[in-house]
Chains A and B, each alone.
Chain A
Amino acid sequence: MTEFDAVYYDGRTSARKPVRVRGYTLVIQIVGEGLRLDVPLGKVRVDPPVGGTRRALHLPDGAQLQTDDHAAVETLFPRAHALEGWVHGLERRWPYALAALAVTAVVAWWSVVDGLPLAAKIVSGFVPVAWEAKLGEQTLEFFEGRLCRPSALGAARRQALQQRFARLTAGLADGYSYRLLPRDCRGVGANAFALPGGTVVMTDALVKLAQSDDQISAVLAHEIGHVRHRHGLRMALQAAGLAALAAALFGDATSITSLATTLPVALLQSGYTRELETEADDYAFRRLRKIGLSPKAFAEIMLLLEKDHKKRSGGDSRNYFSTHPATAKRIERALAAP
């Protein structure tokens, strides 16, 4: 027989009544001033234990017993909560807590480095190409007319570049409808960007900067790599995954403290961008070789772009959150490409 002190609440009022509880094999007996109650054990519902908080025993008709005698409750209801009883056991001991810390750190680390990019790649495989094209159109609609105007290049020049683009995309048969849009984007400088679905936007400034048309082909091949490997979609998925992970890890922090997670998340994201850029570079090197051009052209245009960028930012090349891998490294890889 187990015996313990408890407080009895009848569930109709907030009045507390100190009682003595005796637990037998099939029944508990509650005895207090003006109260004598027998309740079958099977009708009693116990809350799972959490830390050192008081245990509540829910009785039929909304009445309740509260007690600090944890040992007695365990004796009376030994198998009340399989899952949470086990969790409670882990929470009570430091070695388990430290093991949990190690597990959390390893899983979080793996998720950031391999898990999220892998998951994004798998999930993006289920998104139909037609959806991606729709998404690309939306993005294009957003900056067409705002940032960019129709190209100021001559018709013959545009025709020549379109032919180069057609050569790069010929026979890819990956479901994307590739098209090249030469645009005059004043604020953007020499650049090109790929939209999901196959649209590649190329600025007039890039055409003017390039010393040969092979160099333009090199940049376009890189952008086609972004399209083929679904980088726009994968980036968005990875960013969402990262946000979810950060929320799980630091969601308990007060809102002002969670400000502090903005910077690390931004840094990790620029890391993802660098990875995808490298993937697009590798694709460009292979594609250029395939149509009989040298990846050297890529190295050349990278050098020109870097100079141009430095000039534009007033000789100040401090760029803390550079999203592209260091240019020197990319040039090196282009020159070493098979």
Chain B
Amino acid sequence: MALPSTDRGAPASVAGSEKRHAVEFTAHAGEYFRIWIVNLALTVVTLGIYSAWAKVRKRRYFYGHTRIDGESFEYRGNPLAILKGRLIAVALFAVFYAIGHYAPLYIWAVYLVLLFFGPWLVVRSLAFNAYNTAYRNVRFAFSGTYATCLGLVLGYGLLTLVTLGLGFPFLRRRLVQFAAVSHSYGRTRFALDEGFKKPFVRPYFVVIGVSVLLGVMLAAFFAVMIVVAGAPKPGAGVPAWMSTAMIAGVVAFYALLFLQIGYIKARTVNAVWNHLSVGPMRFESVLRARDLIWLYFSNFVAVVLTVGLATPWAAVRSMRYRVSKTTAITSDPLDGFAQAEAQRVNVAGEEMADFFDIDIAL
């Protein structure tokens, strides 16, 4: 397989003093399929124990093939730490599952624990992943705290409850902002300017508006049909038009699910990345809703038709699309910018290593 040589930088065009670096994803679906299936076989044969190694190998393949300015990312997660995290996660899951199944009266206790435990998991997981990601031999870091995350979840969660779900976009927006600005590359903090706020919440309200409209139309349809065809008589079973309408409704619901998810994802990802910067580097993301909807739908069909065998292809294809629509723009050479500031982080980073040697996949 031909590999891009070390010196191959992305074709860079100069606009003013800014330099544009295409982000590349050089993985091959066939190669990833072999990695995926071999690691899957080893996972099932070892009753899941190998899954930690499998996760690291798959991550390393994806990170290693993601390049900015010709240099690839690096995943440094330790399989043993991941295995430890997974065993804890499995034990917790078993307890929650048993309570939900056998003591449904105490399920509120599970929700209460999850409410306080969830933010902790999110913070630890982001920290682990950031700490174990490197680019040009400089690690990322995550400095968000549990207290902040819990405060956001409780505060905005309450808002979401009180507003019957209308507060949800703001909960997401605040969490995404928290996740973004708590990251740093070396010593350089990521920054997210306020401009991302409006384009981030708008797609949610578009979807809510369209859903309400469709709901009203559906109710009107049923009202008209009941007047025209007569109300279903008790004990006579469901009339034919109603069962047909129900099936059509379910199909429409799933179709709308793809549309919503694709649309919201494209718009929110663009909103965040177009307003994100780290030192002298900023980004440009031009995902299109219709591309993502098609991507999700075709992946879904392919995975179902192949009984899951198309999963690696779908994963490579999704990543390739994401990356192809992203550009990194710098005003200074990448060499220079971390130089002064990256100096101190490794020391602090090494000290914190022990705190992060756990990963619970979410």
Contact = CB atoms under 8 A, between A and B. Distances in A.
Interface of A: 5-7, 9-16, 18, 47-48, 50-54, 56, 62-64, 66-68, 83-84, 87, 90-94, 96-97, 99-101, 103-104, 107-108, 111, 135, 138-139, 141-142, 196, 236, 240, 244-245, 248-250, 252-254, 256-257, 259-260, 313-316
B337 A14 contact: yes
A84 B56 CA distance: 11
A107 B257 contact: no
B38 A91 contact: yes
Interface in B21-61: 27, 31-45, 48, 51, 53, 57-58, 60-61
B60 A248 contact: no
A14 B137 contact: yes
Interface in B1-36: 1, 3-7, 27, 31-36
A336 B166 CA distance: 62
Nearest to A233: B102
A15 B35 CA distance: 32
Given A253-B311, A260-B300, A13 B51 contact: no
B339 interface: yes
A9 B343 CA distance: 12
Contact of B137 (A53, A63, A257): A63
B48 A244 contact: yes
Contacts of A48: 57
A10 to B, nearest CB: 8
Contact of B6 (A67, A104, A240): A67
A91 B346 contact: no
Contacts, number: 198
Interface residues of B, number: 78
A253 B336 contact: no
Contact of B236 (A63, A64, A245, A314): A314
A254 B313 CA distance: 12
A97 B63 CA distance: 22
A141 B104 CA distance: 10
A101 B37 contact: yes
A313 B236 CA distance: 9
A219 B160 CA distance: 49
Contacts of B71: 7, 16, 66
12 contacts: A13-B138, A14-B186, A16-B136, A51-B35, A87-B57, A111-B44, A139-B102, A249-B40, A252-B36, A256-B257, A256-B261, A256-B300
Given A100-B38, A138-B105, A253-B314, A14 B334 contact: yes
Interface string B273-315: 0000000000000000000000010011001100011011011
Looking at B45, B237, B304, the one whose CB has the most chain A CB atoms below 10 A away is B304
Contacts of A111: 44
Interface in B48-86: 48, 51, 53, 57-58, 60-61, 63-65, 71-72, 74
